[in-house]
Amino acid sequence: MTIEKKDIEKQTCSDIDAVLSHRQHNGGDYWTTPDKNLIKGAPFSTLESVLYLLELGMDPDDPVLKECADLIFSVWRDDGRLKLTPKGAIYPCHTTHAASVLCRMGYASDERVKKTLRHLLDTQYRDGGWRCNKFSFGRGPETEYSNPHPTLNALDAFRFSSDFQNEPALDHAIDFLLAHWTIRTPIGPCHYGIGKLFMQVEYPFRSYNLFFYVYVLSFYKRAKQDSRFLEAFHALESSMQDEQIVIQRTNRKLSGLTFCRQGEPSALATLRYQEIVKNLESNK
């Protein structure tokens, strides 16, 4: 089954309106707080809401998304990091998340984003991933690993960049994520594991889960040639019904949106799956 975006445009209009209706629910505009916290208010934080609108087909040149881009860049630092919260430290998970969003918005060639991507390469952890120096679960052997989700977000950003595509460091990051498919147990200071929740198909791409894992890695030749990636891809395929992606898990506050209803096929999610298939057929 091939799904065309033009067939679902009418359906997504109501979802766009629904996302926009939350625009000031955190006290500021564009889903932020008065003191400019861009990740508070999940699942309708600034960064998350931007991603929903992009998934729903809003043009990155739309005035709303232009204002959101300006808002995100307003917390960009000269060293490439982005301070998404008004207080506290700047963690790699913040910078990788923001970099992913900005690249999806079309800013991969912006000099500020290039500096951010260079910063990420300069701060890559020894195992190939990115690791926040914060130990909410205490310290143990498992916390000596990087955090898989920020690493996946970093690779999601780098896939848009023509300047860094041939960096050997990205192969190291891919190897780290493929190794986690084998390790499976919770690793990193934030204890990311591959278990029951990971294997449930979640959409839109908000967390570390099978669908997002396969989607991002499908853009990298090194991953596509690896048996562990193919195992993950086949696991995703096995969850499909009638050649469509069925949403197995989503945030309950998103239940009013038609494009990601839990237990139902999603046309937009299926488009992402078709993108994976196209990537696998490519020799890039």
pLDDT digits (tens, 9 = 90+) for 36-85: 999 999 999 999 999 999 999 999 999 999 999 999 999 999 999 999 99
What's residue 135's pLDDT? 77
The pLDDT of residue 7 is 53
Q: Under a CB-based contact definition with an 8 Å cutoff, are residues 134 and 87 in contact?
A: no
Q: Are 214 and 237 in contact (CB under 8 A)?
A: no
Q: Residue 126: pLDDT above 90?
A: yes
Q: HSE-up of 100 (CA within 13 Å, CB side)?
A: 23
The pLDDT mean for the chain works out to 94
Distance CA 275, CA 219 (A): 9
Instruction: Tell me: pLDDT of 6 over 70.
Output: no
Q: How far is CA 146 from CA 73, 126, 134, in A?
A: 26, 8, 11
pLDDT band at 245 (very low <50, low <70, confident <90, very high): very high
Contact of 173 with 223, CB cutoff 8 Å: no
Cβ-based neighbour number of residue 215 at 10 Å: 22
How far apart (Å, rounded) are the C-alpha atoms in residues 211 and 119?
Answer: 27
What is the model's pLDDT at position 3? 46
Burial class (CB in 10 A: 0-12, 13-18, 19+), 242: exposed
Cβ neighbours of residue 182 under 8 Å, at least 6 residues apart? 228
Question: Are 119 and 94 spatial neighbours (Cβ–Cβ below 8 Å)?
Answer: no
Question: Does residue 12 have a pLDDT over 90?
Answer: no
**pTM: predicted TM-score of the whole model, two decimal places:** 0.94
Cβ-based neighbours of 25, under 8 Å, separated by 6 or more: 31, 41, 44
Cα(first)–Cα(last) distance of the chain, in Å? 24
Q: Please give the average per-residue pLDDT across 90-100, as a whole number.
A: 97
- How large a percentage of the chain has pLDDT more than 90? 88
Please enumerate in sequence order all residues whose Cβ is within 8 A of that of 203, keeping only pairs 6 or more positions apart, or say none.
211, 245, 247, 250, 260, 266, 268, 269, 272
> Which pLDDT belongs to residue 273?
98
Integer-rounded Cα Rg, in Å, for the chain is 18
Q: How many CB atoms are closer than 10 A to CB 226?
A: 17
Q: Is the pLDDT of residue 9 over 70?
A: no
Q: pLDDT category, 11, cuts 50, 70, 90?
A: low
> Does residue 271 have a pLDDT over 90?
yes
Q: Average the pLDDT over each of 106-120, 129-143, 253-267 and give the range with the smallest value.
A: 129-143
Spatial neighbors of 258 by CB under 8 A, at least 6 apart, are: 11, 12, 14, 15
Tell me the average pLDDT across 5-34: 87
Q: What is the pLDDT of residues 141-197, one digit of tens each?
A: 899 999 999 999 999 999 999 988 889 999 999 999 999 999 999 999 999 999 999
